[in-house]
With several copies, the nearest count.
Chain A
């Protein structure tokens, strides 16, 4: 992680592609664990879903690399929608597509725009899936990440610091889903029996935010 310089003046397409690489690597490595988490309260496919989608997204980006950070995110989001399926495909696809759209045509953006993008993406997820904080979904990692990012930014942290705090918040948020009772997604069918298991989608969300910190040269959340 020492060989990846912090994004200096701003976040560009190369940075987002580095994130995509790191996220894909992390999801590939953690796929079995995510599927394992999706077994007691789901249908045992979250890891293979995410791996399939991100490998396809990386391939799509490599084949025709967009020149803006927003362009890369939109392409990743579209590819997820077209290759993942399940609940996570449209939700993560929307997260990244909305985030990318928020960044518009800019070739380089600062951490504040990244926050706007994340806010737009998370808003899209909430709207599409209808879940709220505490429903034991990916939002329970994404919302704390957004809050932490916003707070760190307001406190004047560097991009790497800002993303590192988002990564720890996401990871804590994911872990904090364990005692929750699911109200959305297929874990909700289990009622009380969903309590005591960490949510797979919150866990993969923490991996994605961790990869963001890692891409910025902060210590990786890849070990979420």
Chain B
């Protein structure tokens, strides 16, 4: 598999140099792997810090800016960052109002952010954490590490970011973040496997006529393999999965997310089917976002995340945001 890289070892550092070059509104510490919103800490504002393995771009670095994250900590490809990064990020963005860690529910992320929270608190930063675990493909029971954090991360970062931007205190921002997570569900489908720079070959074999249902964002196989389906059939399966789990009784925001290599033309076509499927299931759609936002390197495929919203959450969604990858209202 060909890649537009120098060598596998420097992929993350190279990308950070490139982010620094493209985004003067961000302070990128390439060596220590922390991306901070220029001007942070903002007086009186709760700081939002997230991070995770690289390979999901624009998540998280592309969401640093007004109305979303104050800092992001990119790990190696598909490898959670180390505590040092989050400790440094917390110190850089804490104005005294405290810091919220947005953590996707993976063993590695949880452990590293937990360690970082302890260390940051030792240094006098008040830290709250929210765990994002929206992926209904994972049967949440004693027998798994629990539901993965996927597309809902964007919703949590956006809505909690808007709350922080509006001046809400730490407990309030954390409460919004948790409510968003509880109101969100995701399900993903892969049409191709992922090739990581380190491995150089696809992580699994996916024959021509088949797809994987219930995949995550790390190139892991899903829960089930099926014969290839049409976009309409896939939308039915995916929408069923999220709607039956969330059982929304009000309007939702929908994220129709590309895994990285699926053309936008196809994603928009898929969005039409997702809307059709939601309408058939009597779920009103308040807002829609279509694009590659929570990706899995060069994987072809898509995921759908829905988040049920009330007036407050919808207002937070519509609030101004100005980051490399998500921008409106300012």
Direct A–B touching, Cβ under 8 Å: yes
A: residues with CB less than 8 A from B are 35-36, 39-45, 47-49, 52, 81-91, 128-129, 181, 183-186, 188-191, 193
Size of interface on B: residues with Cβ below 8 Å to A: 38
B: residues with CB less than 8 A from A are 8, 53, 75-84, 106-108, 111-112, 115, 137-139, 142-145, 148, 194, 196, 198-199, 203-204, 216, 218-221, 223
Partner of A81, one of B77, B82, B144, B203: B82
| CB <8 Å contact, A190 and B78 | no
Q: A183-B143, A189-B220 are in contact. List 6 more A-B contacts (CB 8 A).
A: A44-B203, A48-B8, A89-B79, A89-B111, A189-B148, A191-B139
Chain B neighbourhood of A47, CB < 8 A: 198
26 contacts between A and B (CB under 8 A): A35-B199, A36-B199, A39-B199, A39-B204, A44-B198, A44-B219, A49-B76, A81-B83, A82-B84, A85-B108, A86-B79, A86-B108, A86-B112, A87-B80, A90-B112, A128-B111, A183-B144, A184-B107, A186-B106, A186-B145, A189-B138, A189-B145, A189-B148, A189-B220, A190-B220, A193-B221
Q: Is chain B's binding surface mostly helix, strand, loop or mixed? A: loop
Tell me whether A83 and B223 are in contact in the complex, defined as CB-CB below 8 angstroms, given that A45-B76, A185-B145, A186-B218 are known contacts. Answer: no
Closest to B113 in A: A90
Q: How far is the CB of B301 from chain A (nearest CB, A)?
A: 16
| CB <8 Å contact, B139 and A91 | no
**Whole-angstrom distance between the alpha carbons of A29 and B235 in the complex?**
33
Chain A neighbourhood of B139, CB < 8 A: 191
Tell me whether A85 and B219 are in contact in the complex, defined as CB-CB below 8 angstroms, given that A90-B111, A129-B107, A186-B107 are known contacts. Answer: no
Q: How far is the CB of A133 from chain B (nearest CB, A)?
A: 15
| CB <8 Å contact, B223 and A191 | yes
**Whole-angstrom distance between the alpha carbons of A189 and B78 in the complex?**
15
Partner of B199, one of A44, A128, A190: A44
Chain A neighbourhood of B81, CB < 8 A: 85
